Amino acid sequence: MKYFSILSCLTDKKSLCLLRILNYFVSLPKILRFVRKMKKILFAFWALISVMACGDKSKAPYNKEQPVQQNEPGDSTRYGLACDGCTDSILLLLPFDGGDPDTFDIISAYQNRKIYGRPRIGDELAVILNPEDKEEALMIINIERLKGQWCYQVMPTFRNIEKMPQKMQRRMMAQIPDSVKQRLLVPCEYGIQLKRGHLAQTIGSYRNRHSDSMSPVEYPKVRRYAGWKLFNGRLVLETDTARLIQTDQAHKPEYDTADIVSLRRDTLVLRFKDHEQTYYRKKDS
């Protein structure tokens, strides 16, 4: 450190400048050693974070209590979510029972108009497979599109008018003023709401029994439902047993099965065993 004692005797500007230069070269090795230590510390910290973040991927966390949808006995439908990559000829389905996404050929279903509701990413789907070719889908039902409030309009009829001869019916209707017809023949909205969790609710308010018996018109009876499900591509509606308790019927629930004829954004057509019903979707559903 002799140069410090020498430079301390110098007071001119050149000496001070030289002193700053020498001090820089003296402290530079210390700075380099400090930087090397910081690099080692940062590298060790980064390695620790990487190990904690990655861990053992073969032991991915899984909740054993997480419910997995299982098919009922006899139901061969595949349930899952639509994945990215679905086209008019290919369907990518992430099954609810676990595993990697499955790829299905849907050309036949598309040509036969058996795709009820165009699949979108994340939509819950029900897929009916070809029993001879498990890679071909014969029917696709978009469950997300199926849920909602589906309604139709019903008109009342004059009480016991069906017991009259046709000629008397026409004569009676001709004698009733139009203003009375407009006041009595008011359409009513019936329908069904398909909710999440396979819950169902019938749309159509209950009327007072006394006022109904005194009214000259009557509305069709409403079939009350409490649940719904899909079974091999068919819609199964379960009756409301709580309503049946109030009647003389047995408490055992009954089931109505319908085939899906058409499912669009605002239209649903169901074919029951004795009739075909067209519904419209309520705007607020």
- Please list, in sequence order, all residues whose beta carbon lies within 8 angstroms of the beta carbon of residue 143, skipping any fewer than 6 positions away: 123, 124, 125, 126, 230
Two structure tokens written together for 26: 């003296």
pTM (two decimals): 0.66
Report which residue type is found at 182: Q
- pLDDT tens, per residue, the chain with 285 residues: 444 444 444 445 555 555 565 565 555 555 556 656 665 566 555 545 543 433 443 333 333 333 445 678 889 999 999 999 889 899 999 998 778 899 999 999 999 999 999 999 999 999 999 999 999 999 999 999 999 999 999 988 777 666 667 666 667 667 777 677 677 788 889 999 999 999 999 998 655 443 455 677 788 888 899 999 999 999 999 988 765 445 555 567 889 999 999 999 999 999 999 999 999 998 875
Query: Beta strand pairing status for 115-116 and 157-158?
Result: unpaired
Query: Could you tell me which of 116, 112, 108 has the C-alpha nearest to residue 90?
Result: 108
Query: Beta strand pairing status for 217-218 and 234-239?
Result: unpaired
Two structure tokens written together for 128: 């009916």
Residue with tokens 């006022």: 211
Helix (H), strand (E), coil (C) string for the chain: CHHHHHHCCCCCHHHHHHHHHHHHHHHHHHHHHHHHHHHHHHHHHHHHHHHHHHCCHHHCCCCCCCCCCCCCCCCCCEEEEECCCCCCCEEEEEECCCCCCEEEECHHHHHCCCEECCCCCCCEEEEEEECCEEEEEEEEEEHHHHCEEEEEEECCEECCHHHCCHHHHHHHHHHCCHHHHHHHCCCEEEEEEECHHHEEEEECCCCCHHHHHHCCEECCCCCCEEEEEEECCEEEEEECHHHHCCCCCCCCCCEEEEEEEEECCCEEEEECCCCEEEEEECCCC
